[in-house]
Structure 1
Amino acid sequence: METIFHYQSVAYPTTVGKFKDRISWVGNVAKGDASIAIQSPVMSDNGTFICSVKNPPDVYHNIPQTVLIVTERGFSFQLTSAVLLSILVFLPSIIVVILMLVRLGRKSGVLKEKKKSGCKKSSIEVSDESEHTDTCSGRLKAWCLNCVDTDEEEPY
């Protein structure tokens, strides 16, 4: 069995082995804490280790085992509820503000509204009306007047 750390009044980290120069004491003897820290863990550090705290003349039994599992670091950005709430509140708010600014700009004349071309005719439609009516309603009125005010009588 490989000893990776020894503490006896002061810390004695290992000078050989896979944890050489990467292990340090972070515990507190006064509080009964015998913690160590491993810097820059790698996948080969995985394993089961025995932590043995010896305090002579105590009797030793049931030596606890510690399992060290090293995994790949996951995605560093976590979508927290605060970020999600911000996206769901601020994004629609920004869209509404932009739409209101465009609408106010059109009303004040800063932004010009696109001109509508009026009624669109299909490519095969031919009209007998004069081209002096520019809007759909003007064309519709002229067409209706043409139909109603006719001198011809249809036979029954």
Structure 2
Amino acid sequence: MDLRGRWRLSLGNGFWFCCLLLGLVLHSGPVYCIEVSAPEEIKAVRGETVTLSCSFTSTSRATDLLSVNWSFRPQSGGLAHNFFHFSSAKAYPSSDERFKGRVKWVGAPSLGDASIQLLNASLNDNGTYSCTVRNPPDVHGPSSQTVLTVTPKKVGVRFSDVAVLLLFIIVPSGLIALVLLVRILCPCCSPVKKSSGLSRHSPIEVTDGEECLYKQPKQKTPTCCELYLLDSDDEEYYHHHEKQRMETIAESQC
């Protein structure tokens, strides 16, 4: 076979190859990129369950050929690596020691959801998370990226409205009521103002109109609190004793 015959044979084979490739493309339909979206930043507290949301839009219906990959790049830097994979309608547990036993699939491919949950978040989980979705014949588009920031749990005292009411209204009112109750039950506890106009006389001083040269010294008069605490027998004894004292004073007067 001469050179011209070989060239014609190669040209024919190329033509049939192009026809076969064109037929496959037309049979499979058009190919589009999948649109993937996720929040740019998520904040969480250590120990919480974090939901890493990821949604996608595909022109083809989700089938068992759909696959989802999640990758992680630490905040300290370094290369990103896959830690979770979903395909053939099955989630494969993470073999990464950092996420082992802490990743849960919560997505719904039929609804365009490829989200996962990260259990018991720790400070080592800080970094960038990327979600990639592939649904043949649609090829995956640019992956979404979410920055996760985990902070230590804050311990603080928060006063509710009830606590403020008890502290600033009920407690002072109770103290005032207690003071008033004590003064009512024991009147002598209240201060007694002494009149500045009262004059004091010497026991041996004789005043006008007085005929007695000797004045009986005053005896201690029981206070109101002591009278209040006396029982009935003591009260009778006190009145009898007081009566005798008054009679003695009357007899000693001139």
TM-score range, shorter chain: 0.5 to 0.7
Alignment correspondent of 1:136: 194
Contact 2:132 2:142 in 1 (8 A): no
Q: 2:138 aligns with which of 48, 58, 65?
A: 58
**What is the identity, as a one-letter code, of the residue corresponding to 1:96?**
S
Q: 2:165 aligns with which of 64, 86, 89?
A: 89
Q: Specify whether residues 89 and 24 from structure 1 end up closer, same or farther in structure 2 by C-alpha distance, changes over 3 A only.
A: same
TM-score, reference length from structure 1: 0.62
> How large is the Cα RMSD of the aligned pairs?
2.5
Q: Which runs of 4+ in 1 moved over 4 A?
A: none
CA distance in 2: counterparts of 1:98 and 1:30, whole angstroms? 67
Larger radius of gyration: 2
What SS is found at the alignment partner of 1:51? strand
Q: Specify whether residues 113 and 98 from structure 1 end up closer, same or farther in structure 2 by C-alpha distance, changes over 3 A only.
A: farther
Alignment correspondent of 1:114: 189
TM-score, reference length from structure 2: 0.40
CA distance in 2: counterparts of 1:66 and 1:7, whole angstroms? 19
Q: Which runs of 5+ in 2 are unaligned?
A: 1-79, 200-254
Q: Which runs of 5+ in 1 are unaligned?
A: 119-134, 144-156
Alignment correspondent of 1:7: 86
Which has the bigger relative contact order, CA under 8 A and spacing at least 6?
2
Alignment correspondent of 2:124: 44
Q: 2:176 aligns with which of 84, 99, 115?
A: 99
Shift of residue 136, structure 1, vs aligned partner: 2.5
CA distance in 2: counterparts of 1:104 and 1:96, whole angstroms? 12
Instruction: Tell me which moved more, 22-31 or 7-16.
Output: 22-31
Q: Specify whether residues 142 and 113 from structure 1 end up closer, same or farther in structure 2 by C-alpha distance, changes over 3 A only.
A: closer
Alignment correspondent of 1:31: 111
Query: Which structure has the highest strand share of the two?
Result: 2
CA distance in 2: counterparts of 1:105 and 1:114, whole angstroms? 8
Shift of residue 5, structure 1, vs aligned partner: 1.0
Contact 2:103 2:116 in 1 (8 A): yes
Shift of residue 44, structure 1, vs aligned partner: 2.0
Instruction: Tell me which moved more, 23-32 or 5-14.
Output: 23-32
Shift of residue 19, structure 1, vs aligned partner: 0.9
Q: How many residues align?
A: 118
Shift of residue 94, structure 1, vs aligned partner: 3.1
Query: Which structure has the highest helix share of the two?
Result: 2
